[in-house]
């Protein structure tokens, strides 16, 4: 375990019993609970295979998958944030790299009152419920408001084989079934899905229950008719919204409504316009 002067801790575990113990030990005065699945840092560079600003390679956002802006910007002096990073941490070197990265992020961004658990857990369709139940029970027992409970799935493969494609397709539907059956569906809106390795949307999450159908309908029109025309060489960022708003308002169809709905139902991992 590592601890710093701003009351943050980073721990590691390899079994479900300790995971439950860790939740119980930290299960008081909680501000937010966040669990990311498949978000560990693997490589510093992502190759999108397309030329933008004379480059095809961009920095990985894995640090923000593990510690998104809504955790970094959330500070309540008497309360704490619980962060669980679920991934395959069997490789000792990879584990150490991730712990070092998180330590640097915490110190470099003055993050406070945040307790992180790196949970070595290989996700399969049949063990997702075993992972989620302790997390949800803790949230329920501590009466954490649903808006402050988030589970984000980052298991999306850039070039999947058949087995990987099956896994990434199954996880969201299984997760939704689990959440619908827990506490009468109280936490169905707490599940977020990553857009994956899509250039413009790389830094975005969306609430699966509320937005998945709209995402499928609107993703390409927004990209083709707005983003490629206004921010061609850059990844989408909340600081681009004003100029895209002005452009979208001139559309005589449904594009502006689709764009507004996108803004309402997505989370940018790195930047936020909220104070």
Query: How many distinct helices (H) and strands (E) make up the chain?
Result: 10, 11
Q: What is the pLDDT of residue 4?
A: 62
Backbone torsions φ then ψ of 75, nearest 5 degrees? -130, 115
Query: Is a pLDDT exceeding 80 seen at residue 1?
Result: no
Beta carbons of 203 and 268 less than 8 angstroms apart: yes
| Mean pLDDT along residues 185-205 | 96
d(CA 236, CA 18): 39
* Mean pLDDT score across all residues of the chain: 92
Residues in the chain, overall count: 275
In sequence order, which ranges of 79-161 are alpha helices (DSSP H)?
92-108, 128-141
pLDDT at 154: 98
Q: How far is Cα 90 from Cα 44, in angstroms, rounded to an integer? A: 19
Digit-coded pLDDT (tens) for 114-135: 999 999 999 999 999 999 999 9
Domain ranges of the chain: 2-194, 210-275
DSSP, residue by residue, 154-210: ----SS--HHHHHHHHHHHHHHHHHHHHSGGGTTGGGEEEE--S-TTTTTEEEEHHH
Specify which residues 9 forms β-bridges with.
3, 115
For residue 74, give both structure tokens.
């959330």
Treating both helix axes as pointing N-terminal to C-terminal, what angle do 255-264 and 241-248 enclose, rounded to 10 degrees?
Answer: 150
Residues 111 and 6: their CA atoms lie apart, in Å, by 7
pLDDT tens-digit series, residues 212-237: 999 989 999 999 989 988 887 789 99
Q: How far is CA 220 from the centre of its chain?
A: 22
What pLDDT was estimated at residue 205? 97
Residue 253 pLDDT: 77
The token pair that represents 232 in the structure block: 């061609």
Token readout for 149 is 């409970």
pLDDT band at 150 (very low <50, low <70, confident <90, very high): very high
Two tokens, residue 194: 């990553």
């Amino acid at each position: 375990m590592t601890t710093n002067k701003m009351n943050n801790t980073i721990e590691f575990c390899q079994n479900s019993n300790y995971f439950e113990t860790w939740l119980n030990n930290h299960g008081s005065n909680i501000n937010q609970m966040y669990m990311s699945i498949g978000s560990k840092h693997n490589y510093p560079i992502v190759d999108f295979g397309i030329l933008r600003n004379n480059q095809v390679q961009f920095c990985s956002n894995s640090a923000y998958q593990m510690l998104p802006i809504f955790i970094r910007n959330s500070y309540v002096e008497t309360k704490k944030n619980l962060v669980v990073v679920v991934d395959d941490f069997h490789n000792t070197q990879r584990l150490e790299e991730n712990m070092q990265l998180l330590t640097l992020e915490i110190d470099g961004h003055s993050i406070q009152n945040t307790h992180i658990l790196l949970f070595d857990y290989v996700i399969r369709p049949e063990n997702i419920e075993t992972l989620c139940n302790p997390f949800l029970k803790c949230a329920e027992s501590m009466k954490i408001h649903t808006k402050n409970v988030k589970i984000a799935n980052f298991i999306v493969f850039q070039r999947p084989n058949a087995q990987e494609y099956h896994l990434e397709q199954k996880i969201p539907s299984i997760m939704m079934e689990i959440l619908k059956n827990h506490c009468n569906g109280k936490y169905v809106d707490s599940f977020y899905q990553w857009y994956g390795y899509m250039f413009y949307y790389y830094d975005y999450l969306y609430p699966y229950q509320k937005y998945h159908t709209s995402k499928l309908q609107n993703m390409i029109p927004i990209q083709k008719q707005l983003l490629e025309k206004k921010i061609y060489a850059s990844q989408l960022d909340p600081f681009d919204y004003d100029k895209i708003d002005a452009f979208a308002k001139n559309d005589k169809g449904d594009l502006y409504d689709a764009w507004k709905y996108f803004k309402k139902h997505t989370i940018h991992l790195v930047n936020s316009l909220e104070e």
